[in-house]
């Protein structure tokens, strides 16, 4: 029985390492700006993790984040406190996704000689930025209050 558990855990560990390697390859291709490869490798990583951990496991949220999928934020909000740093990072990543969408649309429109600003994308991006700032303000305020209370109790 122990050998079977060992084999199962070892196989799971190996598959998680493969998923991690696919994720790392996605990051490398992201730095090279080869976005088709980025998506390909991030999706391979996500598929393995979904198959082994389930689609709403907290460890999969980072994979959703890498793909710019809002499901990451939903998982973090369901599993963590709203002021957890992972939630803020997820908002930040999604903000970058919306910013990049807006920039891509602007660049494509400029190439076509169309000078229309995609206001919907800019609005979504700035709404996320506002939410991130508000969240960070709340976190820093909460930490400050905790530090003050701790100092008061120690005094």
What does the pLDDT profile of the chain (155 residues) look like in tens digits? Answer: 587 877 777 777 788 888 888 888 988 888 888 888 988 999 999 999 998 888 888 888 888 888 877 788 888 888 888 777 777 777 777 777 777 777 777 777 777 776 666 666 667 666 766 676 666 666 555 555 555 556 555 54
Instruction: Output Rg (C-alpha) for the chain, integer angstroms.
Output: 20
The answer to the question of residue 127 being in a domain is: yes
The answer to the question of residue 137 being in a domain is: yes
The answer to the question of residue 67 being in a domain is: no
The answer to the question of residue 47 being in a domain is: no
Number of domains in the chain: 1
Taking the C-alpha atoms of residue 56 and residue 69, their distance in angstroms, rounded to an integer, is: 13
Q: Which domain holds residue 118?
A: 79-155
The answer to the question of residue 16 being in a domain is: no
The answer to the question of residue 91 being in a domain is: yes
37-43 contact pairs (CB < 8 A, 24+): 39/67, 42/66, 42/67, 43/67
């Amino acid at each position: 029985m122990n050998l079977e558990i060992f084999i199962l855990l070892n196989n799971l560990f190996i598959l998680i390492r493969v998923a991690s390697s696919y994720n790392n390859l996605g990051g490398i291709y992201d730095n090279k700006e080869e976005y088709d490869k980025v998506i390909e490798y991030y999706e391979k990583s996500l598929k393995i993790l979904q198959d082994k951990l389930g689609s709403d496991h907290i460890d999969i949220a980072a994979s959703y984040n890498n793909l710019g999928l809002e499901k990451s934020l939903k998982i973090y909000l369901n599993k963590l406190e709203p002021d957890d740093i992972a939630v803020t990072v997820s908002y930040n990543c999604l903000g970058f996704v919306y910013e990049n969408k807006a920039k891509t649309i602007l660049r494509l429109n400029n190439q076509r000689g169309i000078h229309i600003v995609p206001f919907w994308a800019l609005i979504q991006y700035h709404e996320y930025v506002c939410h991130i700032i508000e969240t960070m303000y709340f976190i820093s305020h909460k930490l400050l209050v905790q530090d003050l209370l701790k100092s008061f109790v120690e005094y």
